[in-house]
Protein backbone atom coordinates (compact mmCIF):
# COMPACT_ATOMS: atom_id res chain seq x y z
CA UNK A 1 0.00 0.00 0.00
CA UNK A 2 1.15 3.50 -0.79
CA UNK A 3 0.50 6.38 1.64
CA UNK A 4 1.00 10.12 1.30
CA UNK A 5 2.44 12.05 4.20
CA UNK A 6 1.35 15.67 3.96
CA UNK A 7 3.78 17.80 5.94
CA UNK A 8 2.63 21.30 4.99
CA UNK A 9 0.10 23.24 2.93
CA UNK A 10 2.53 26.14 2.52
CA UNK A 11 4.10 26.63 -0.90
CA UNK A 12 6.40 29.00 -2.74
CA UNK A 13 4.24 28.82 -5.92
CA UNK A 14 0.65 29.78 -6.71
CA UNK A 15 -0.51 27.34 -9.38
CA UNK A 16 -3.98 28.02 -10.77
CA UNK A 17 -5.08 24.44 -10.26
CA UNK A 18 -3.64 24.03 -6.77
CA UNK A 19 -5.45 21.38 -4.73
CA UNK A 20 -4.64 23.20 -1.50
CA UNK A 21 -6.81 26.01 -0.13
CA UNK A 22 -6.26 29.37 -1.78
CA UNK A 23 -3.15 30.66 -0.06
CA UNK A 24 -3.95 34.28 -0.84
CA UNK A 25 -7.25 34.46 1.03
CA UNK A 26 -7.93 35.06 4.71
CA UNK A 27 -9.53 31.59 5.00
CA UNK A 28 -6.14 29.95 4.40
CA UNK A 29 -4.84 28.35 7.61
CA UNK A 30 -1.14 27.62 7.23
CA UNK A 31 -0.15 24.17 8.42
CA UNK A 32 3.32 22.75 9.04
CA UNK A 33 3.67 19.40 10.81
CA UNK A 34 5.99 19.33 13.78
CA UNK A 35 8.77 16.76 13.60
CA UNK A 36 7.13 14.54 16.28
CA UNK A 37 3.78 14.71 14.41
CA UNK A 38 5.39 13.77 11.10
CA UNK A 39 7.27 10.89 12.73
CA UNK A 40 4.16 9.63 14.49
CA UNK A 41 2.12 9.68 11.30
CA UNK A 42 4.84 7.92 9.30
CA UNK A 43 5.09 5.30 12.06
CA UNK A 44 1.29 4.76 11.92
CA UNK A 45 1.44 4.35 8.15
CA UNK A 46 4.17 1.73 8.35
CA UNK A 47 2.39 -0.13 11.15
CA UNK A 48 -0.73 -0.16 8.94
CA UNK A 49 1.10 -1.74 6.02
CA UNK A 50 2.63 1.13 4.02
CA UNK A 51 5.46 -0.16 1.85
CA UNK A 52 5.90 3.21 0.19
CA UNK A 53 5.37 6.75 1.51
CA UNK A 54 5.16 9.85 -0.65
CA UNK A 55 6.09 13.06 1.18
CA UNK A 56 3.89 15.84 -0.15
CA UNK A 57 2.82 19.45 0.49
CA UNK A 58 2.35 22.24 -0.35
CA UNK A 59 6.05 22.26 -1.00
CA UNK A 60 7.77 19.76 1.31
CA UNK A 61 11.29 21.01 0.54
CA UNK A 62 10.45 24.26 2.33
CA UNK A 63 11.00 22.08 5.42
CA UNK A 64 14.04 19.88 4.75
CA UNK A 65 14.55 19.27 8.50
CA UNK A 66 11.20 17.42 8.68
CA UNK A 67 11.95 15.46 5.50
CA UNK A 68 15.41 14.54 6.79
CA UNK A 69 14.13 13.36 10.16
CA UNK A 70 11.42 11.18 8.58
CA UNK A 71 13.93 9.58 6.21
CA UNK A 72 16.56 9.15 8.91
CA UNK A 73 14.04 7.35 11.08
CA UNK A 74 12.20 5.17 8.55
CA UNK A 75 14.15 4.74 5.32
CA UNK A 76 15.25 1.23 6.28
CA UNK A 77 11.61 0.16 6.81
CA UNK A 78 9.87 1.73 3.84
CA UNK A 79 10.60 3.29 0.45
CA UNK A 80 10.05 7.03 0.06
CA UNK A 81 9.43 9.55 -2.64
CA UNK A 82 9.30 13.33 -2.39
CA UNK A 83 6.93 15.31 -4.60
CA UNK A 84 8.29 18.80 -5.18
CA UNK A 85 7.81 21.73 -7.52
CA UNK A 86 11.58 21.73 -8.01
CA UNK A 87 12.16 25.39 -7.21
CA UNK A 88 14.23 24.92 -4.04
CA UNK A 89 17.62 23.26 -3.76
CA UNK A 90 20.46 23.57 -1.28
CA UNK A 91 23.24 21.52 0.28
CA UNK A 92 20.97 19.98 2.87
CA UNK A 93 18.51 18.75 0.22
CA UNK A 94 21.31 17.25 -1.88
CA UNK A 95 22.70 15.57 1.24
CA UNK A 96 19.28 14.04 1.99
CA UNK A 97 18.98 12.69 -1.55
CA UNK A 98 22.51 11.32 -1.56
CA UNK A 99 22.16 9.65 1.82
CA UNK A 100 18.63 8.18 1.61
CA UNK A 101 17.93 7.97 -2.16
CA UNK A 102 14.20 8.74 -2.09
CA UNK A 103 12.69 9.00 -5.56
CA UNK A 104 12.02 12.63 -6.45
CA UNK A 105 8.90 13.54 -8.42
CA UNK A 106 9.34 16.97 -9.96
CA UNK A 107 5.98 18.52 -10.90
CA UNK A 108 5.97 20.76 -13.94
CA UNK A 109 3.61 21.66 -16.75
CA UNK A 110 4.38 21.37 -20.43
CA UNK A 111 7.27 23.60 -21.58
CA UNK A 112 4.92 26.00 -23.40
CA UNK A 113 2.40 26.98 -20.70
CA UNK A 114 4.27 26.40 -17.41
CA UNK A 115 4.83 30.11 -16.75
CA UNK A 116 1.09 30.82 -17.19
CA UNK A 117 -0.36 28.18 -14.93
CA UNK A 118 2.40 27.59 -12.37
CA UNK A 119 2.69 31.14 -11.10
CA UNK A 120 6.11 31.92 -9.66
CA UNK A 121 7.90 28.99 -11.32
CA UNK A 122 11.05 29.12 -13.40
CA UNK A 123 11.41 26.09 -15.65
CA UNK A 124 15.13 26.59 -16.30
CA UNK A 125 15.86 26.61 -12.60
CA UNK A 126 13.63 23.56 -12.00
CA UNK A 127 15.39 21.60 -14.74
CA UNK A 128 18.80 22.58 -13.41
CA UNK A 129 17.79 21.17 -10.00
CA UNK A 130 16.26 18.06 -11.57
CA UNK A 131 19.48 17.35 -13.48
CA UNK A 132 21.56 17.79 -10.30
CA UNK A 133 19.24 15.50 -8.33
CA UNK A 134 19.26 12.86 -11.08
CA UNK A 135 22.97 12.39 -10.37
CA UNK A 136 22.06 11.54 -6.75
CA UNK A 137 18.83 9.54 -7.02
CA UNK A 138 15.95 8.57 -9.35
CA UNK A 139 14.05 11.56 -10.69
CA UNK A 140 10.66 11.52 -12.39
CA UNK A 141 9.41 14.50 -14.34
CA UNK A 142 5.72 14.73 -13.63
CA UNK A 143 3.80 16.76 -16.23
CA UNK A 144 0.53 18.09 -14.82
CA UNK A 145 -2.20 18.07 -17.49
CA UNK A 146 -5.36 20.15 -17.64
CA UNK A 147 -7.73 21.34 -20.40
CA UNK A 148 -5.29 24.08 -21.45
CA UNK A 149 -2.33 21.87 -22.22
CA UNK A 150 -3.44 18.53 -23.69
CA UNK A 151 -2.36 19.85 -27.08
CA UNK A 152 1.22 20.14 -25.78
CA UNK A 153 1.74 16.54 -24.67
CA UNK A 154 3.98 15.70 -27.62
CA UNK A 155 6.05 18.82 -27.02
CA UNK A 156 6.49 17.72 -23.42
CA UNK A 157 7.76 14.33 -24.50
CA UNK A 158 10.23 15.88 -26.94
CA UNK A 159 11.39 18.50 -24.45
CA UNK A 160 11.75 16.43 -21.26
CA UNK A 161 12.76 13.09 -22.77
CA UNK A 162 14.54 13.80 -26.04
CA UNK A 163 16.00 17.19 -25.29
CA UNK A 164 16.70 16.87 -21.54
CA UNK A 165 17.27 13.11 -21.38
CA UNK A 166 14.94 12.25 -18.48
CA UNK A 167 14.08 8.56 -18.49
CA UNK A 168 10.82 8.71 -16.54
CA UNK A 169 8.04 11.04 -17.57
CA UNK A 170 4.69 10.99 -15.77
CA UNK A 171 1.45 12.53 -17.01
CA UNK A 172 -1.07 13.35 -14.27
CA UNK A 173 -4.44 15.06 -14.77
CA UNK A 174 -6.18 17.76 -12.70
CA UNK A 175 -9.40 15.73 -12.43
CA UNK A 176 -11.51 18.59 -11.06
CA UNK A 177 -11.12 20.47 -14.36
CA UNK A 178 -12.18 17.59 -16.58
CA UNK A 179 -15.30 16.79 -18.59
CA UNK A 180 -16.08 13.97 -21.06
CA UNK A 181 -14.79 16.20 -23.88
CA UNK A 182 -11.43 16.71 -22.16
CA UNK A 183 -11.04 13.05 -21.19
CA UNK A 184 -11.27 12.38 -24.93
CA UNK A 185 -8.54 14.99 -25.52
CA UNK A 186 -6.36 13.36 -22.87
CA UNK A 187 -6.71 9.97 -24.57
CA UNK A 188 -5.99 11.45 -28.01
CA UNK A 189 -2.94 13.33 -26.72
CA UNK A 190 -1.69 10.24 -24.93
CA UNK A 191 -1.99 8.11 -28.05
CA UNK A 192 -0.06 10.70 -30.05
CA UNK A 193 2.78 10.53 -27.54
CA UNK A 194 2.80 6.73 -27.60
CA UNK A 195 2.77 6.74 -31.43
CA UNK A 196 5.88 8.91 -31.58
CA UNK A 197 7.97 6.63 -29.35
CA UNK A 198 10.73 4.73 -31.12
CA UNK A 199 11.78 1.17 -30.34
CA UNK A 200 14.79 2.48 -28.43
CA UNK A 201 12.58 4.81 -26.37
CA UNK A 202 10.14 1.98 -25.65
CA UNK A 203 13.05 0.06 -24.15
CA UNK A 204 14.71 2.89 -22.25
CA UNK A 205 12.00 5.39 -21.28
CA UNK A 206 9.22 4.88 -18.78
CA UNK A 207 5.99 6.80 -19.35
CA UNK A 208 3.87 6.79 -16.23
CA UNK A 209 1.16 5.76 -15.48
CA UNK A 210 0.51 4.01 -18.79
CA UNK A 211 3.57 1.77 -18.67
CA UNK A 212 2.70 0.30 -15.28
CA UNK A 213 -0.95 1.24 -14.75
CA UNK A 214 -2.51 -0.64 -11.84
CA UNK A 215 -5.85 0.61 -10.51
CA UNK A 216 -6.17 1.81 -6.95
CA UNK A 217 -8.75 3.29 -4.67
CA UNK A 218 -7.72 6.51 -2.91
CA UNK A 219 -8.88 7.15 0.62
CA UNK A 220 -8.39 10.68 1.92
CA UNK A 221 -8.40 11.43 5.62
CA UNK A 222 -8.60 15.02 6.88
CA UNK A 223 -8.59 15.90 10.52
CA UNK A 224 -9.19 19.41 11.80
CA UNK A 225 -8.61 19.13 15.52
CA UNK A 226 -6.97 22.52 15.84
CA UNK A 227 -4.57 21.44 13.09
CA UNK A 228 -5.02 20.75 9.42
CA UNK A 229 -3.99 17.28 8.40
CA UNK A 230 -4.34 15.23 5.26
CA UNK A 231 -3.33 11.71 4.56
CA UNK A 232 -3.95 9.73 1.38
CA UNK A 233 -4.01 5.94 1.31
CA UNK A 234 -3.89 4.09 -2.01
CA UNK A 235 -5.51 0.64 -1.87
CA UNK A 236 -4.92 -1.69 -4.81
CA UNK A 237 -8.25 -2.74 -6.37
CA UNK A 238 -9.34 -4.90 -9.32
CA UNK A 239 -10.77 -2.06 -11.40
CA UNK A 240 -11.15 1.69 -11.24
CA UNK A 241 -14.18 2.70 -13.32
CA UNK A 242 -13.88 6.45 -12.78
CA UNK A 243 -13.33 8.50 -15.98
CA UNK A 244 -9.65 8.82 -15.05
CA UNK A 245 -9.35 5.09 -14.35
CA UNK A 246 -11.01 4.18 -17.66
CA UNK A 247 -8.83 6.66 -19.58
CA UNK A 248 -5.64 5.36 -17.98
CA UNK A 249 -6.67 1.79 -18.73
CA UNK A 250 -7.29 2.62 -22.39
CA UNK A 251 -3.89 4.30 -22.69
CA UNK A 252 -2.16 1.48 -20.82
CA UNK A 253 -3.67 -0.98 -23.34
CA UNK A 254 -2.59 1.17 -26.27
CA UNK A 255 0.92 1.51 -24.81
CA UNK A 256 1.22 -2.24 -24.40
CA UNK A 257 0.10 -2.90 -28.00
CA UNK A 258 2.55 -0.36 -29.38
CA UNK A 259 5.38 -1.72 -27.23
CA UNK A 260 4.64 -5.28 -28.38
CA UNK A 261 4.49 -4.20 -32.01
CA UNK A 262 7.75 -2.27 -31.81
CA UNK A 263 9.70 -4.78 -29.81
CA UNK A 264 8.55 -7.72 -31.90
CA UNK A 265 9.08 -6.12 -35.28
CA UNK A 266 11.99 -3.83 -34.47
CA UNK A 267 9.91 -1.08 -36.17
S1 LIG B 1 3.42 23.55 -6.50
FE2 LIG B 1 1.76 22.19 -5.81
S3 LIG B 1 1.23 22.92 -3.76
FE4 LIG B 1 2.44 24.54 -4.73
S5 LIG B 1 0.90 25.94 -5.61
FE6 LIG B 1 1.50 24.46 -7.20
S7 LIG B 1 -0.03 22.80 -7.06
FE8 LIG B 1 -0.13 23.99 -5.16
**Which CATH number is 13's domain given?**
3.20.20.70
Residues 31 and 153 in one domain: yes
Residues 136 and 260 in one domain: no
pLDDT value at residue 215: 83
pLDDT value at residue 225: 59
Q: Which of 13, 57, 125, 228 to mutate to test the pocket of ligand 1 (most atoms within 8 A of CB)?
A: 13
Residues 63 and 149 in one domain: yes
Q: Which atom of ligand 1 is nearest to the CA of 23?
A: 5
Residues 144 and 211 in one domain: no
- CB-based contact 74:45 (threshold 8 Å): no
Q: Ligand 1 — pocket residues by CB below 6 A?
A: 11, 13-15, 18, 20, 57-59, 85
191: in domain:
no
Q: How far apart are CA 72 and CA 39, in angstroms?
A: 10
pLDDT value at residue 15: 93
24: in domain:
yes
Residues 50 and 139 in one domain: yes
Q: Which one, of 159, 249, 257, lies nearest residue 210 by Cα?
A: 249
Q: Which of 17, 21, 58 to mutate to test the pocket of ligand 1 (most atoms within 8 A of CB)?
A: 58
- Domain enclosing residue 172, as ranges: 2-177
Q: pTM to 2 decimals? A: 0.93
Residues 109 and 138 in one domain: yes
Domain end marker among 147, 177, 207:
177
Count of structural domains, the chain: 2
Residues 138 and 232 in one domain: no
Give every residue of the chain whose pLDDT is below 70, as ranges.
Answer: 21-24, 223-228, 265-267
Give the percent of the chain with pLDDT over 90: 78
Residues 167 and 41 in one domain: yes
pLDDT value at residue 114: 87
Q: Cα(113) to centroid of ligand 1, in Å?
A: 15
Residues 161 and 208 in one domain: no
127: in domain:
yes
Residues 164 and 227 in one domain: no
Q: Where are the beta strands (DSSP E) in the chain?
A: 2-6, 14-15, 52-56, 79-84, 103-108, 118-119, 139-145, 168-173, 206-208, 216-223, 229-236
Amino acid sequence: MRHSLHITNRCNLRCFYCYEDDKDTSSFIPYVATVPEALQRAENMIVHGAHSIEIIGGEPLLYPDIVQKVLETFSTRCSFCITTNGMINNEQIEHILMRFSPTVHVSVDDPVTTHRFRRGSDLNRILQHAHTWSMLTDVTIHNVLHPHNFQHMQESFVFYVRHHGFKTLGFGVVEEWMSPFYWKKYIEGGKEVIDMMTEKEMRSVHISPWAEYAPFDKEIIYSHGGKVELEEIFHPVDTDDSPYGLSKRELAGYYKERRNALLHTGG
